[in-house]
Amino acid sequence: MYFVDPDKIYGVAVLPLMVCHAGFVIGAWYVSAVLIRKGLQGALLYVSGALALTLLILIVACIHRLGTAADYLGFTDGKSGVPLFAVRLGWAFVVSLLALFGSAVYVAIELGRDSRRVQTL
């Protein structure tokens, strides 16, 4: 599901993206823990809601591309792409999304439990 032609991007460009992603995940975990410990769950819910709304808007805007199984060239010519669920990879994508949502719920539960332990000490 490429949005840019991978032949025009150097392989080294992946490293900054991976570092930024790791920084985002670790930073979000830290900021969430701090907000929960300070009793600012409302602010955390607003930020989480804003992120969810942004993600929903991106999904709606890119639904045609997300629902097509093709490489960059196959999608840009408009002839060789197939619907996502016509291939086995589409169902693996659904499983990975369920795992992602499950892990997000688990993280939220753990952060909430962590805040209760810290506030009682």
Nearest of 100, 68, 95 to residue 84 by alpha carbon:
68
pLDDT band at 110 (very low <50, low <70, confident <90, very high): confident
- Cα(90)–Cα(81) distance, rounded to whole angstroms? 13
- What is the per-residue pLDDT across 67-109, written as a single tens digit (0 to 9) for each? 777 777 777 777 777 777 777 777 888 888 899 889 988 887 8
DSSP one-letter string for 86-120: GSHHHHHHHHHHHHHHHHHHHHHHHHHHHHHHHHH
For the cut 70, the answer to whether the pLDDT of residue 120 exceeds it is no
* Average model confidence (pLDDT) across the chain: 80
DSSP lists the bridge partners of residue 82 as: 69
Furthest C-alpha separation in the chain: 63
Query: What confidence score (pLDDT) does residue 115 get?
Result: 62
Query: What confidence score (pLDDT) does residue 53 get?
Result: 93
Nearest of 27, 43, 42, 30 to residue 114 by alpha carbon:
30
- Cα(112)–Cα(44) distance, rounded to whole angstroms? 11
For the cut 60, the answer to whether the pLDDT of residue 121 exceeds it is no
